[in-house]
């Protein structure tokens, strides 16, 4: 058994370039779902007994979570066949880490660990890379502080941050000011150590992997409508969590890149297998279907409490649509690549309710606006909205290098654009792609895409 085997990654600040080639053809499985992979390792680590995980995403973010759980006392190992085993210690027996816990680029990891560690009777210091240290943590630390934890960080509540946990957190009823699965999950993870019922009310439904997996491990979680379009999630504190097996479906956020590429590149037909079809994660597919994309959903099934299916996508002419703002939580990570699809649609695509994009790995709304405009796409943008005027099937001029700001989804989105632009598209740094999609270059190349990591446009 070994700890982990990260996929090879490009060197520091390696450029990547994509250019037009033939149609995309073939069948592939993108890496495992990042959200579920994080939670499988964390929940397995605080459960009693053994948890086995198949299909785990072996990107840098998730490997960082594995390392953090080891630092907290769990035994986390990977076998040669790719099966991961977690020997849990029980939530009450996590140990104080001997060193600073470095979560790299993982905003999900930082926020989930903030919740988990807030309920522990010791102090932990969290840090991350330059991008993560810029991201706001106050929306997580505010409710956790009301549960009894203390936080000492840099100005604006940024990492590095000391989390002074409380072994006896107070169960609270918390209304999320902005829909966020990460904040909801952080409060619930702290609530695991509380006596009594912790309640989180969200204004719009957000991805519910935490609720599904906690039930899978034996917790009592009840979800009800709040009568105003949102949900009320209640968790009974101090459950006896028991390890089991988790099958991680293919990540729909990663699948978005070959999916959109196949829809845009003429003559393409691609089958994406085992895609997670959680109804709170399907906003991109719904939007693409409204735009006229030729998508087939086959072999639908349930595995480990999560719906999955195979997706067949063929090239099709897209038309601009207006994306309702209430759909944003179900596709927040997919907006960058949707903007690429909109660049080739006929007419304009209007996207509103995008404020959350400004606090991701980068200010994704601004970075996408800058890059699209540089590539020759006509756009309009505001504080939380964007309008993309499409080329009616004709790709933009391209031929530019885009600054990714250490953001994996920005890098992959503009590489997809390079497959249909008149001139190659280059991104300044593909190294962050390893955080969520370490096999992106090889997988896309296997389908016929001309994507080169480490080269310049030529």
* Catalytic positions, written as ranges: 333
Region class of 227: left (phi > 0), else alpha (psi between -120 and 50), else beta: left
User: Residue written as tokens 């690549």?
Assistant: 337
Helix 252-264 and helix 283-290, axial crossing angle in degrees, nearest 10: 20
Residue 204: name the closest of 175, 179, 172 by CA. Answer: 179
Distance CA 213, CA 398 (A): 43
Residue from 35, 17, 68 nearest 250 by CA:
35
Residue-wise over 31-62: b if at least 16 C-beta within 10 A, else e?
A: bbbbbbbbbbbbbbbbbbeebbbbbbbbbbbb
**CB-CB contact of 173 with 193 (8 Å):** no
Is 19 within 8 Å of 424 (Cβ atoms)?
Answer: yes
- Tokens (6 digits) for 425: 């598209």
Q: How far apart are alpha carbons 336 and 365 in whole angstroms?
A: 8
**CA 307 to centroid of chain Cα atoms:** 17
> What DSSP character marks residue 237?
S
Interstrand relation of 269-276 and 306-314 (parallel, antiparallel or unpaired): antiparallel
Positive or negative, the CA dihedral 431, 436, 439, 444 is negative
Token pair for residue 318? Answer: 């897209």
For 155, residues 6+ apart whose C-beta sits below 8 A from its C-beta are none
DSSP string for residues in 289-333 = HHTT-EEEEEEEEEETTEEEEEEEEE----B--EE-GGGGGGTGG
Distance linking the first and last C-alpha atoms of the chain: 44
Closest CA to 155 of 176, 137, 173: 137
Look at the block and give the residue holding tokens 């090889």.
Answer: 442
């Amino acid at each position: 058994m070994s700890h982990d085997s990260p996929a090879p990654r490009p060197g520091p600040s390696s450029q990547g370039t994509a250019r037009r080639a033939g149609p995309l053809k073939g069948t592939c499985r993108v890496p495992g779902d990042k959200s579920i992979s994080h939670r499988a390792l964390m929940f397995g680590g605080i459960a009693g007994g053994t948890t086995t995980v198949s299909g785990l995403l072996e990107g840098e973010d998730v490997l960082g979570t594995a390392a953090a759980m080891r630092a907290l006392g769990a035994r986390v190992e990977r076998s040669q066949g790719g099966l991961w085993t977690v020997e849990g210690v029980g939530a009450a027996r996590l140990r104080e880490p001997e060193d600073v816990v470095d979560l790299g680029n993982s905003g999900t990891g930082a926020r989930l660990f903030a919740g988990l560690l807030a309920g522990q009777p010791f102090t932990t210091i969290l840090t991350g890379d330059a991008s993560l240290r810029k991201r706001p943590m106050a929306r997580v630390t505010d409710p956790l502080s009301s549960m009894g934890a203390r936080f000492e960080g840099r100005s604006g509540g940024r990492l590095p941050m000391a989390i002074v946990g409380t072994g006896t957190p107070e169960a609270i009823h918390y209304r999320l000011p902005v829909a966020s699965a990460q904040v909801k999950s952080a409060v619930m993870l702290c609530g695991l150590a509380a006596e009594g019922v912790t309640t989180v009310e969200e204004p719009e439904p957000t991805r519910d992997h935490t609720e599904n997996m906690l039930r899978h491990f034996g917790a009592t979680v009840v979800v009800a409508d709040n009568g105003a379009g949102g949900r009320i999630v209640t968790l009974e504190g101090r459950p006896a969590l028991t390890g089991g097996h988790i099958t991680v479906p293919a990540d729909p956020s990663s699948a978005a890149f070959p999916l959109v590429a196949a829809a845009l590149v003429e003559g393409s037909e691609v089958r994406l297998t085992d895609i997670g079809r959680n109804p709170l994660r399907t906003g991109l597919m719904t939007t693409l279907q409204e735009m006229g994309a030729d998508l087939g959903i086959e072999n639908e099934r349930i595995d480990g409490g999560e719906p999955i299916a195979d997706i067949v996508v063929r090239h099709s002419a897209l038309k601009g649509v207006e994306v309702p703002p209430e759909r944003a939580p179900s596709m927040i990570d997919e907006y960058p690549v949707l903007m690429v699809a909109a660049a080739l649609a006929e007419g304009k695509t209007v996207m509103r309710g995008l404020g959350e994009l400004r606090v991701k790995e980068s200010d994704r709304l601004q970075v996408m606006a800058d890059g699209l405009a540089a590539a020759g796409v006509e756009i309009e943008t505001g504080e939380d909205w964007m309008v993309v005027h499409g080329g009616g099937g004709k790709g933009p001029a391209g031929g530019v290098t885009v600054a990714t700001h250490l953001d994996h989804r920005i890098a992959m989105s503009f590489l997809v654009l390079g497959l249909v632009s008149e001139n190659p598209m280059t991104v300044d740094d593909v190294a962050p792609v390893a955080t969520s999609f370490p096999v992106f270059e090889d997988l896309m190349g296997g389908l016929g895409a001309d994507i080169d990591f480490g080269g310049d446009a030529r």
